Copies of this chain bind each other. A is one copy, B any other.
Amino acid sequence: MTAAVPNAFDDPAYRQGVVELLGLLAYGEISAWERLAEDAKMAPTLAQEAEVAAMASAEWEHFAQLRDRLFALGEDPYAAMLPFQPIFQRFHARTQPEDFLEGLLKAYVGDGLAADFYREIAAFLDAETRELVLDTLSGTGHSEFVVDVIRDAIAEEPRVGGKLALWGRRFMGEALSQAQTVVAERDALTAVLVGNADRPGAVMDLTVIGRMLTRLTEAHTERMDKLGLAA
């Protein structure tokens, strides 16, 4: 705690942006927990239910870390999360899985998308927040299970592949649409996301956001490929 170290949080715009970001991520994690717990019930076997429960449990751990950071910053975590509730509720309502495979695919591409997003933004964050964010993205690691189950299901019944490919496109379309809502509504948050927070007064560069979304979409396409699905 020396005065020589500039504290990123001395900038109120940066602080606000980070609080909004942590609120967004925390709400994303608890709503992922909620949905995975829901999806687990569709599992055809107890072993598969336990796999999904393990994924849900990892989301819960992430949630707790993000919430506790908000507490440590002296913020009310729930107040920080609440503004993002309608966005996630809309997103989940529009991407409600019809069966266990759709739920698994959503969990897999959602987890991958979140991890990519966390990595994208990490560069613009102060060291402590960056460490938390990078810490939070790791440790789900249940992808192998999902890849196996989905590939097996397609091998057994090729029509499943077409249905899941459609589902994956719908997922990504809705995710991009909700992301754009956040960008449109949340200036402080968006400034942090594109690294403008340390350049007060910088014109919000929508092409920077656009490029980030393009990279996220490309990574999504690769993930779909890995599952044997056309994105």
Interface residues in chain A, defined as those with a beta carbon under 8 Å from any beta carbon in chain B: 30, 33-34, 37-38, 40-41, 45-47, 49-50, 53-54, 56-57, 60-61, 63-64, 67, 78, 81-82, 85
Contact = CB atoms under 8 A, between A and B. Distances in A.
Given A37-B37, A46-B85, A85-B46, A53 B78 contact: no
A46 B66 CA distance: 14
Q: How many copies does the complex hold?
A: 2
Contacts of A49: 30
B30 A81 contact: no
Given A46-B82, A54-B60, A56-B60, 19 more contacts: A30-B46, A30-B49, A33-B53, A37-B37, A37-B38, A37-B40, A45-B78, A46-B78, A46-B81, A47-B78, A50-B63, A50-B67, A50-B78, A53-B60, A53-B63, A54-B64, A57-B60, A57-B64, A60-B60
Contacts of A45: 78
Contacts of A53: 30, 33-34, 60, 63
A33 B36 CA distance: 12
A66 to B, nearest CB: 11
Contacts of A41: 34
Nearest to A81: B46
A53 to B, nearest CB: 6
A64 B61 CA distance: 15
Contact of A57 (B50, B57, B81): B57
A56 B37 contact: yes
